[in-house]
Structure 1
Amino acid sequence: MSTRLSFDDGDQNTNPRIMTFRPSYEEFKNFADYIAYMESRGAHKAGLVKIIPPVEWIPRKSGYDIENINMTIPAPINQVVTGAHGVYQQFNIQQRRQMTLRQFRDKANSEMFQTPRHIDYEDLERKYWKNITYISPDYAADVKGSLSDEDLDVWNIGRLDTILNLVNTDYGIEIDGVNTAYLYFGMWKSSFAWHTEDMDLYSINYLHFGAPKTWYAIPPAHGRRLEKLANSLFNENHQECNAYLRHKMTMISPKVLRQHNIPYNKITQEAGEIMITFPFGYHAGFNHGFNGAESTNFASKRWIEYGKRASICKCRSDMVKISMETFVRHFQPERYQNWLRGEDYGNHPEEPGKICAAAAPTINEYKMIEERTQLSKLKGNSAQKRGCSMPNDIEEANDDDDKASVASSSLNTKQVMVKLRKMPMPASNEATSDEKAAPSSSAAITKEKYDFNSIAVVRVKRLWNALPCTENGTNLLPNGVVKNTKRMRFQTKVLTLDDDE
């Protein structure tokens, strides 16, 4: 059974309802087509949709006997909630000890943490908001992995075929939980605070087993209203970071939303059901008891305008940032050059009357892309490792001093670009101190006397050896490939806790 309730029930245009779809297996087969079909029906206007999959779709044939699922939760979080009168902050404290899934289940079903007796979902919801600050639950969030069968080809959350795959195809980068699957194991009262997805992407959540989840959703057209309310209630947080809602700490009850005339919907997801969130769809919710869900992000062409104008948290290094370059280049070529210059004027899809320029890309990042492209043309078919960057034309490199600059890409990774000045190649294999200090007039020496690669190796080794370090280091990226290693998308604080007795 699922329940649905919303504020301002009288006007479908003001507050679109959360729709529920029951596709046949034939309709269900093509993921992108079915997403487009639901949007053609207006499902995206509510920010959230429920899908009841066809009976033929079985994501895990072996079932969900926890005794037979050998899984370890590396870093469960304890959710401490503070506040009062419907306005709360949630602090996710990372635990020191890992847990097996069986241990987590036993804790969730223990007398202290088990679901209280209740009449129906409405009664349980009242108990949730009444007791939200008491007995902090654990949440096994952002666990890398999948419970779906590897040979599942239809709606396999671990490998959805959408345009978000271009991040991996073009840049060779995987972002955990964004273009790979994450698992979430909850217990009674474990929650997810108000937020939109990273870069305002779509998300899919399949509840594999266990107790239901209650979801709250704000229609994307009213997302700015929620932001303004939150900014007034959490002004300090807003002053510190204009995208603080991405920290996933802000909790506002339905009662407060009604008091401020913020339209919202709620719906309960049960085991075997799928929830889809749409771009710029704010959502929050809580678990009714022990359960297991699988989730990831995905994208469509409609998302690109949202992504170009998504708010970015700059106060935390582990926040996901996705470069929009590949999407604009592939799907909006007529706007690409204007976008690179920061002159791509338009409006946020949910703010039709507000015209502004989309954020331009990081200069260094796209300069490196262009340099690598030109260099590959000059070099013909010679290969170059991903993650390496060199000046696009060695003969025009005329920096006054040797420079090393780090470009922080919008893919939440770092690429190091070493710019080296041309130097004459002496008779020996190593440049002398006099030659290193040679004036710029040395540029007149013929090209045959330059050996860019050998000079780069010598100088980088010298810089490395000169670093103040008492112990030998280890090169963690020998092949030049940079991989996102973000573990938690929840804001966490690592504390040393006493072992459980």
Structure 2
Amino acid sequence: MEYQGAHQAGLAKVVPPKDWRPRKSYDDIDDLVIPAPIQQVVTGQSGLFTQSNIQKKPMTVREFRKTANSDKFCSPRYADIEELERKYWKSVTFNSPIYGADVNGTLYDPDVTDWNIGKLNTILDTVEHVNGITIQGVNTPYLYFGMWKTTFAWHTEDMDLYSINYLHFGASKSWYCVPPEQGKKMERLAQGFFPGSHQNCEAFLRHKMTLISPSILRKYGIPFEKITQEPGEFMVTFPYSYHAGFNHGFNCAESTNFATERWIEYGKQAMLCTCRKDMVKISMDLFVKKYQPERYEQWLAGRDTGPIDHSRPTPEAKEFLGEEQGKDCISQEPEVEKKRPPHSSSQSPLVSYSSTLTLHLRTHSRLSD
């Protein structure tokens, strides 16, 4: 993906072969317990909103699905995605939905090896292998049970890592994305609209409470793209890519974080939240020592800083494709969508790569490719 420039967009869609399945059947998950569902309460107006969460009592997947499909919470009628999107932003402050978020576990069958979210085998595993540290949802998978209007607010990943999200079943999911090279501009816009939040915490966007509508982004010249994830599809986000989105109805997704050598520079410069004890912080010392030994002393002395080249792909991706392209890593070339969609104000190549890139997962499972 990075070899083809997807990292510059910040978000890519990967469509597996139609016969690929991570689980034979989902008929046996009704009794799975969602320990801490959250009711998402959104306040604000004119395209600027703040989201807060109220924890609810545990419920099973069966109970959650029944609630999601009830008259109170079910999806509205709509002709196309554009109409549904308009209805979302018009009603985002009404009838607070319930999100079954951050559920520990995986729905992958144990024998699935290709693109198994719980077994990605990237350099992020160094954290567990060297320090024995498990960070739930970061180097382990989380499940997310959504309903209409459940939302993930604008944020980058913890430590500006990569992330991968697979939509197991159910309704679609809408994504918005700002290219990494526009991240600072996005932060300045958010700081201007939410000065109180910024004063309390420089990294307040990591709280995942801030919603800014596409109309506001267009008005203030923030490039962005949007795309719809369908069941059976992966979405990959890239370091320092601000993204947000919402669910179209009852569904289930699984996600985790991962890393490549390219991420190390982002991790070294990630702006961290210091006001909350539960925020993820990963020491970069072991990554610099192992993968950038010639810079380790400078890093320890606080002198290893510099601007990040957002256009540079991860080194191991280029090396791998240089050796094996045309063999079994990618068995067909992606088709490039040349016509830009009318909704976008961005010049990023998201649609070109994310909407048409198809990897054959049965032959290779390296995410850095």
Task: Normalising by structure 1, report the TM-score.
Answer: 0.61
> What's the CA shift string for 1:282-308, capped at 9, x where partnerless?
000000000000000000000000000
- 83-92 or 48-57, larger mean C-alpha shift: 48-57
Give the corresponding residue for 1:80.
Answer: 41
Matched, 1:48 2:48: no
Q: Per the alignment, in what secondary structure is the counterpart of residue 157 of structure 1? A: coil
Give the corresponding residue for 1:64.
Answer: 26
> What's the CA shift string for 1:234-266, capped at 9, x where partnerless?
000000000000000000000000000101000
Matched, 1:103 2:63: yes
Question: Residues 251-290 of structure 1 correspond to what in structure 2 (within 5 A)?
Answer: 251-290=211-250
Q: 1:140 aligns with which of 100, 116, 141?
A: 100
Question: Residues 366-377 of structure 1 correspond to what in structure 2 (within 5 A)?
Answer: none
Number of aligned positions between the proteins: 312
> CA contact under 8 A between 1:195 and 1:282: conserved in structure 2?
yes
What is the alpha-carbon distance in structure 2 between the residues aligned to residue 190 and residue 228 of structure 1?
26
Q: How much has 1:49 moved relative to structure 2?
A: 0.2
> CA contact under 8 A between 2:30 and 2:60: conserved in structure 1?
no
Give the corresponding residue for 2:251.
Answer: 291
> What's the CA shift string for 1:120-154, capped at 9, x where partnerless?
11100000000000000000110000011011111
Matched, 1:149 2:112: no
Q: How much has 1:349 moved relative to structure 2?
A: 3.4
RMSD: 1.2
Question: Residues 433-472 of structure 1 correspond to what in structure 2 (within 5 A)?
Answer: none
Give the corresponding residue for 1:325.
Answer: 285
What is the alpha-carbon distance in structure 1 between the residues aligned to residue 311 and residue 204 of structure 2?
20
Gapped regions of structure 1 (runs ≥ 5): 1-37, 353-501
What is the alpha-carbon distance in structure 2 between the residues aligned to residue 300 and residue 192 of structure 1?
24
Question: Residues 181-260 of structure 1 correspond to what in structure 2 (within 5 A)?
Answer: 181-260=141-220
What is the alpha-carbon distance in structure 1 between the residues aligned to residue 161 and residue 199 of structure 2?
25
Q: How much has 1:92 moved relative to structure 2?
A: 1.2
> What's the CA shift string for 1:380-435, capped at 9, x where partnerless?
xxxxxxxxxxxxxxxxxxxxxxxxxxxxxxxxxxxxxxxxxxxxxxxxxxxxxxxx
Q: 1:163 aligns with which of 116, 123, 141?
A: 123
Paired letter, 2:42: V
Percent of pairs with identical residues: 62
> What's the CA shift string for 1:356-375, capped at 9, x where partnerless?
xxxxxxxxxxxxxxxxxxxx
Give the corresponding residue for 1:483.
Answer: none
Gapped regions of structure 2 (runs ≥ 5): 313-369
Q: 1:129 aligns with which of 43, 65, 89?
A: 89
Q: Per the alignment, in what secondary structure is the counterpart of residue 205 of structure 1? A: strand
Paired letter, 2:45: A
> CA contact under 8 A between 2:8 and 2:311: conserved in structure 1?
no
Give the corresponding residue for 2:357.
Answer: none
Question: Residues 374-453 of structure 1 correspond to what in structure 2 (within 5 A)?
Answer: none
Paired letter, 1:163: I
Q: How much has 1:348 moved relative to structure 2?
A: 3.0
What is the alpha-carbon distance in structure 2 between the residues aligned to residue 351 and residue 300 of structure 1?
15
> CA contact under 8 A between 1:305 and 1:349: conserved in structure 2?
no
What is the alpha-carbon distance in structure 2 between the residues aligned to residue 224 and residue 155 of structure 1?
32
Task: Normalising by structure 2, report the TM-score.
Answer: 0.83
Matched, 1:93 2:30: no
What is the alpha-carbon distance in structure 2 between the residues aligned to residue 64 and residue 101 of structure 1?
11
What is the alpha-carbon distance in structure 1 between the residues aligned to residue 30 and residue 286 of structure 2?
39
Q: How much has 1:56 moved relative to structure 2?
A: 4.1
What is the alpha-carbon distance in structure 1 between the residues aligned to residue 40 and residue 111 of structure 2?
35
Question: Residues 481-492 of structure 1 correspond to what in structure 2 (within 5 A)?
Answer: none
What is the alpha-carbon distance in structure 2 between the residues aligned to residue 68 and residue 104 of structure 1?
12
What is the alpha-carbon distance in structure 1 between the residues aligned to residue 307 and residue 82 of structure 2?
39
Residues 68 and 215 of structure 1, relative CA distance in 2, 3 Å threshold = closer
Q: How much has 1:68 moved relative to structure 2?
A: 4.7
Q: How much has 1:83 moved relative to structure 2?
A: 0.1
